[in-house]
Amino acid sequence: MGLRGEGEETENGVMATDFFWSYTDEPHASRRRQILSQYPQIKELFGPDPWAFLKIAAVVLLQLWTATYLQDASWLKLLIVAYFFGSFLNHNLFLAIHELSHNLAFSTPSYNRWLGIFANLPIGVPMSITFQKYHLEHHRFQGVDGIDMDIPSHAEAYIVKNAISKCIWVLFQLFFYALRPLFLKPKPPGLWEFTNLIIQLSLDAGLVYFWGWKSLAYLILATFVGGGMHPMAGHFISEHYIFNPDQETYSYYGPLNLMTWSVGYHNEHHDFPRIPGSRLYKVKEIAPEYYKSLKSYKSWSQVIYMYVMDRTVGPYSRMKRNASKDAGGAAKKDE
């Protein structure tokens, strides 16, 4: 399927000096067609999750209440609560926004955008609308050089070459995800981005005005630590980082799926992005023969450990492919 680029053993132990390159199309569209031809009943799983709004509202309200409750807490208490409690809530909301980017709460796209802006509130920084633009391209053009912004840049790969630098990269990986598109493929903001920005800044300012800086600091801390060296953040690495050169997408079948909108079912998600996380497990039940031979994970924490400690794995451990003739257009609606 793909070959690792040229490389050599370096003094810091990283073998690769280029990405894996594939000379075939991404695997999900063809597998989707095969599964649907054999199991057309899977189409019955398509469509919004009727409980999405209530699940998101409960987490948003709980996290905002926690922020106000901690207005007079010590900085140590803020950090402890942020890591062991708030991080799980904010990462849950980040993946709720991922769900909403596929319009899986409402049939009307604009309703999903509004709910995404609402889900964004405890995260502290506006990202919901911008995330959708780039994430749909990740699905439509998985691995395509210059389009899929989920793939690390050459600059990241040049800097991150050993266990220490990989630890730092994992710790700050949310910053890399956020800043990478701004440098490599910036998109002009539109009305929805400005709406997201204004509402988010208004919430942040309101928190500071009525409850003080520590309430806002708690939310920012929860976002930061939850996206770094944290069990839930292991999905960033597990989904597409290549530990086996014959496979470019990996699923996770562990208990944290209950808190992450089942994003661990990642092969299933890329095969069927119109199925909400709450029903993705049914895809594997209906068509098990398509997934049982694929390598998967049971621990996201183990994935982080493997990534840091394996001297042959790093930012270059991703599959790339050259753009096809239609890859220059805008991302299309999920198939």
Per residue in 124-149, pLDDT tens? 999 999 999 999 999 999 999 999 99
Percent with pLDDT over 70 in the chain: 92
Q: What is the pLDDT of residue 8?
A: 38
Residue 329 lies in a domain: no
Residue 38 has what pLDDT? 97
**Per-residue model confidence (pLDDT) at position 133:** 92
Q: What is the mean pLDDT of residues 288-307?
A: 96
- Structure token pair of residue 305: 């450990």
With respect to residue 218, please indicate whether it lies within any of the assigned structural domains.
Answer: yes
Domain count, the chain: 1
Kindly report which listed range (34-48, 174-188, 217-231, 254-268) carries the lowest average pLDDT score.
174-188
Q: Is the pLDDT of residue 177 over 80?
A: yes
The answer for residues whose C-beta is within 8 angstroms of residue 61's C-beta and 6 or more apart is none
pLDDT tens column, 61-77 = 999 999 999 999 999 99
Give domain status of residue 202, yes or no.
yes
Range of the domain at 224: 2-320
Q: Is residue 328 in a domain?
A: no
326 inside domain: no
Kindly state the average pLDDT of the residues 35-51: 97
Please say if the pLDDT value at position 3 is more than 90.
Answer: no
Mean pLDDT score across all residues of the chain: 92
Cα–Cα dist 331/88, whole Å: 30
| Domain membership flag for residue 303 | yes
SS (H, E, C) 220-242: HHHHHHHCCCCHHHHHHHHCCCC
> Residue 44's pLDDT band (boundaries 50, 70, 90)?
very high
**Residue 328 in this model has a pLDDT that exceeds 50:** no
Whether residue 44 is contained in a domain is answered as yes
Residue 332 placed within a domain: no
With a pLDDT cut of 90, the percent of the chain lying above it is: 85
Q: Please tell me the predicted confidence (pLDDT) of residue 331.
A: 38
Kindly report, residue by residue over 91-104, the tens digit of the pLDDT.
999 999 999 999 99
Query: Structure pTM?
Result: 0.91
Pick from 67, 68, 149, 135: which is nearest to 95 by CA?
Answer: 135
Tell me what pLDDT residue 325 has.
Answer: 58
pLDDT at 160 over 90: yes
Q: Render pLDDT for 192-245 as a digit per residue (tens, 0 to 9).
A: 999 999 999 999 999 999 999 999 999 999 999 999 999 999 999 999 999 888
